Structure 1
Amino acid sequence: MKRLQHWFARRGALALSCYLVAVIVWLVLGAFHGGSDALAKQAGTMYETEIAVTDWQWVGLQDAGSTAETAVLATTDGDPQMILEDVSDMVVRTVSYQADFAGDAGEMCLYYTTQVGQDYSQDRRVFPESLGDGAYLYTLPRTTIVALRLDPCSPGANKTVEMTSPTGTITINAAETLPALWQYFVPSWYQAFCLVLYPALAAAALSWLRAVWQALRRRKNA
Structure 2
Amino acid sequence: MKRLKTFFARRGAVPAACYILAVAVWLVLSLAHAGSDALAKAQGRMTEQIIPVQSWQLVGLEPAEEQATAESALTLTTTNGDPQMILEDVSGQVVRTLSYTVMFDGDAREMCLYYTTKVGEDYSQDRRVFPQNLGNGQYLYTLPRTSIAALRLDPCSPDENKTVDLTFAPATLTLNAASTLPAWWQYLVPTWYQTFCLILYPALCASAVSLIRSFFAKKEPKKL
Same fold by TM-score greater than 0.5 = yes
Superposition pairs of residues 186-197 of structure 1, within 5 angstroms: 186-197=189-200
1:69 alignment counterpart: 72
C-alpha distance in 1 between matches for 2:35 and 2:215: 42
Superposition pairs of residues 81-92 of structure 1, within 5 angstroms: 81-92=84-95
- Superposed structure 1 runs of 4+ greater than 4 Å apart: none
C-alpha distance in 1 between matches for 2:71 and 2:142: 29
- Residues 1:146 and 2:169 are matched in the alignment: no
C-alpha distance in 1 between matches for 2:130 and 2:152: 12
- Which amino acid in structure 2 is aligned with residue 189 of structure 1? W
Count of aligned residue pairs for this structure pair: 221
SS at match of 1:96: strand
C-alpha distance in 1 between matches for 2:192 and 2:178: 23
C-alpha distance in 2 between matches for 1:141 and 1:22: 21
C-alpha distance in 2 between matches for 1:218 and 1:142: 50
Per-residue deviation, 1:121: 0.6
1:35 alignment counterpart: 35
- Residues 1:96 and 2:111 are matched in the alignment: no
User: Could you give the per-residue CA deviations for residues 18-60 of structure 1, whole angstroms, max 9, x where no partner exists?
Assistant: 0000000000011000000000000100000000000000110
User: Which segments of 5 or more consecutive residues in structure 1 lack a partner in the other structure?
Assistant: none
- Which amino acid in structure 2 is aligned with residue 98 of structure 1? T
C-alpha distance in 2 between matches for 1:152 and 1:30: 31
Superposition pairs of residues 147-186 of structure 1, within 5 angstroms: 147-186=150-189
C-alpha distance in 2 between matches for 1:2 and 1:15: 19
- Which amino acid in structure 1 is aligned with residue 72 of structure 2? E
- Residues 1:125 and 2:128 are matched in the alignment: yes
User: Could you give the per-residue CA deviations for residues 144-195 of structure 1, whole angstroms, max 9, x where no partner exists?
Assistant: 0000000000000001000001111000000000001111010111100000
2:58 alignment counterpart: 58
Per-residue deviation, 1:216: 1.7
2:213 alignment counterpart: 210
C-alpha distance in 2 between matches for 1:96 and 1:201: 37
Task: Give the TM-score normalised by structure 1.
Answer: 0.97
SS at match of 1:99: strand
Contact persistence 2:86–2:153 (CA under 8 A): yes
1:108 alignment counterpart: 111
- Which amino acid in structure 1 is aligned with residue 163 of structure 2? T
SS at match of 1:78: coil
C-alpha distance in 1 between matches for 2:195 and 2:122: 33
C-alpha distance in 1 between matches for 2:29 and 2:208: 24
Per-residue deviation, 1:212: 1.2
Per-residue deviation, 1:96: 0.1
Per-residue deviation, 1:218: 2.4
SS at match of 2:151: strand
SS at match of 1:218: coil
2:47 alignment counterpart: 47
C-alpha distance in 2 between matches for 1:167 and 1:58: 17
- Which amino acid in structure 1 is aligned with residue 123 of structure 2? Y
Task: Give the TM-score normalised by structure 2.
Answer: 0.97
User: Which segments of 5 or more consecutive residues in structure 2 lack a partner in the other structure?
Assistant: none
C-alpha distance in 2 between matches for 1:127 and 1:68: 27
Question: What RMSD over aligned residues (CA atoms) do the two structures have, in Å?
Answer: 1.0
Q: Which moved more, 1:77-86 or 1:204-213?
A: 204-213
User: Could you give the per-residue CA deviations for residues 79-122 of structure 1, whole angstroms, max 9, x where no partner exists?
Assistant: 00000010001000000000000000110000000011111111
C-alpha distance in 2 between matches for 1:208 and 1:43: 49
SS at match of 2:46: coil
